[in-house]
Amino acid sequence: IFEDPLKFYEDNYKSIGRANLSRKDNHLYTTLKRRGLLEKIPLKYKPKIIFEDPLKFYEDNYEGVTRGKLQLLNGPLYKALKRRGLLKHVPIVHWQPRS
């Protein structure tokens, strides 16, 4: 039981937002919610990376990197290229069967 759940949050979890708090300490999250204090905990979003020209960014920074590798190295760039129909400019690994 928390005497002052907001103070406990400030002392222990200040750097995380609501979603992570619910994963890390669901009991505290639920207590804050029941007491109507959850809105005092900030929502912390990762800023979206916006690529004005994702193909140019790919060519300048990842040229020759295959789709699978690009997806691992820079998922947001891969998604931006995919959304704009530009993945055709990113090579695919062609597997050769072993003989």
Question: Is residue 68 a part of any domain in this protein?
Answer: yes
What pLDDT is stored for residue 67 in this prediction? 95
- Whether residue 95 lies inside any domain: the answer is no
Residue length of the chain: 99
Mean pLDDT of 60-71: 95
* Six token digits for residue 98: 């072993």
8-51 confidence digits (pLDDT tens): 999 999 889 898 999 999 999 999 999 999 999 988 766 567 78
pTM of structure: 0.50
HSE-CB for 44 with a 13 A CA cutoff: 12
The structural domain count of the chain equals 2
Judge whether 73 lies within some domain: yes
Question: Beta-carbon neighbour count of residue 8 at 10 Å?
Answer: 15
* Domain membership flag for residue 48: no
Please indicate, yes or no, whether residues 9 and 36 belong to a single structural domain of this protein.
yes
Answer yes or no: is pLDDT of 1 > 80. Answer: no
- 96 falls within a domain: no
Q: In this predicted structure, what is the pLDDT of residue 43?
A: 82
Domain boundaries, position 72: 54-89
